[in-house]
Structure 1
Amino acid sequence: MSNDNITLSIGEARLSGWTRLRVTRGIERFPGDFELEMTELFPGQAQDVVASPGDKCVLQIGGESVITGYVDRVVPSISAESHDIRVTGRGKCQDLLDCAAVWPNGQMSNVNAYTMAKQLAAVYDIDVICDLEGLLMIPQINIIPGESTYEVVERTARYSALLVYEDRSGNMVLARAGTEVMASGVQEGINIEAATAERSMDQRFSHVTALLTGTNNMQDLTSITAPHFTATDPNVPRRRERVIFAEAGELGWEVGKQRALWEVAWRRGRAEVIHVTVDNWRDVEGNLWEPNKLIDVLIPSLKVSGDQAGTVPQRLMIAEVSYSLDESGTHAQLTLMPPEAFEPKPILLYPQYGDLVGTVPLR
Structure 2
Amino acid sequence: MTVFNNELTLVAGDRQLSGWTQVRVTRGIERCPSDFQIEMTEKYPGQPFDITVQAGDSCQVLIGDDLVITGYVDKVSPAYDSDSHSITISGRSKCQDLVDCAAEWPGGQILGSSVLAIAQKLAQIYGITVSCTGDVGGNIPQFNLLLGETGYDVIERICRYRALLPYDGTDGNLILGALGTVQAANGFSEGINVERARAVFSMDQRFSEYVAFLQSVDVFTDTGNGGNLLGVAYDYGVERHRRRVIIAEAGGGGQDVAKQRANWEAARRYGRGSVVTLTTDSWRDSAGVLYTPNTLVPLDLPTLKVTGKIWVIGDVTYARGDNGMRAMLTIMPPEAFNPEPILLQPFQADVPAGTAQ
Output the TM-score relative to the length of structure 2.
0.90
Q: Is the 8 A contact 2:133 2:178 kept in 1?
A: no
1:202 to 2:204 alignment: yes
Name the structure 1 match of 2:79.
77
Indicate which of 153, 156, 159 corresponds to 1:157. 159
Aligned-partner Cα distance in 1 for 2:171–2:216: 38
Residue 214 of structure 1: CA displacement? 2.5
Distance 1:109 1:220, change over 3 A: farther
- Per the TM alignment, residue 36 of structure 1 is displaced from its structure 2 partner at its CA by 0.3
**Change over 3 Å in CA distance of 1:46–1:301 after alignment to 2:** farther
> Residue 54 and residue 225 in structure 1: after superposition, are their counterparts in 2 closer, same or farther (change >3 A)?
closer
2:295–2:312 CA contact under 8 A, matched in 1: yes
Of 243, 257, 262, the match for 1:260? 262
Identity value in percent: 48
SS across alignment from 2:196: strand
For this pair of structures, how many residues does the alignment match?
340
Query: Equivalent residues in 2 for 1:329-348 (5 A)?
Result: 329-345=324-340
Kindly report which structure 2 residues correspond to 1:241-256, keeping only aligned pairs within 5 A, or say none: 241-256=243-258
Task: Tell me the equivalent position of 1:311.
Answer: none
User: Residue 19 of structure 1: which of 9, 18, 21 is its match?
Assistant: 21
- SS in structure 1 at match of 2:154: helix
Q: For residue 289 of structure 2, what is the aligned residue in structure 1? A: 287
C-alpha displacement at 1:260, in angstroms?
1.0
Q: TM-score, normalised by structure 1?
A: 0.89
Q: Which residue of 2 aligns with 1:323?
A: 318
**Residue in structure 2 matched with residue 350 of structure 1 by the alignment:** none
How far has the Cα of 1:345 moved from its partner?
2.8
Structure 1: gaps of 5 or more residues: 307-313, 348-363
Residue type of the alignment partner of 1:269: G
| Residue 214 in structure 1 maps to residue 211 in structure 2 | no
Task: Report the more deviating stretch, 185-194 or 129-138.
Answer: 129-138
Deviations 1:75-114 (A, max 9, x none): 1111112211111111000000000001110112211111
Q: CA RMSD in A?
A: 2.2
Q: Secondary structure at the match of 2:262?
A: helix
Cα distance in 2, alignment partners of residues 261 and 322 from structure 1? 30
Structure 2 residue 68 is matched with structure 1 residue 66:
yes
- 1:51 has 2:46 as partner: no
Matched-pair contact (CA < 8 Å) for 2:213–2:228:
no
- Is the CA contact 2:214–2:254 (under 8 Å) kept in the aligned structure 1? no
Deviates more, 1:269-278 or 1:1-10: 1-10
Post-superposition CA distance 1:43-80 (Å, at most 9, x none): 35861222211110101100211111011111111111
SS of the counterpart of 1:321?
Answer: strand
Q: Which amino acid aligns with 2:59?
A: C
Preserved contact between residue 231 and residue 260 of structure 2 (Cα < 8 Å): no
Secondary structure of 1:40 counterpart = strand
Tell me which residue corresponds to 2:95: 93
Unmatched 5+ stretches in structure 2: 343-357
Shift of 1:230: 2.4
Partners of 2:34 and 2:222 lie apart in 1 by 41
CA distance in 2, matches of 1:14, 1:138: 44
2:231 aligned partner, one-letter code: F
Deviation at 1:268, TM superposition (A): 1.3
CA distance in 2, matches of 1:13, 1:141: 45
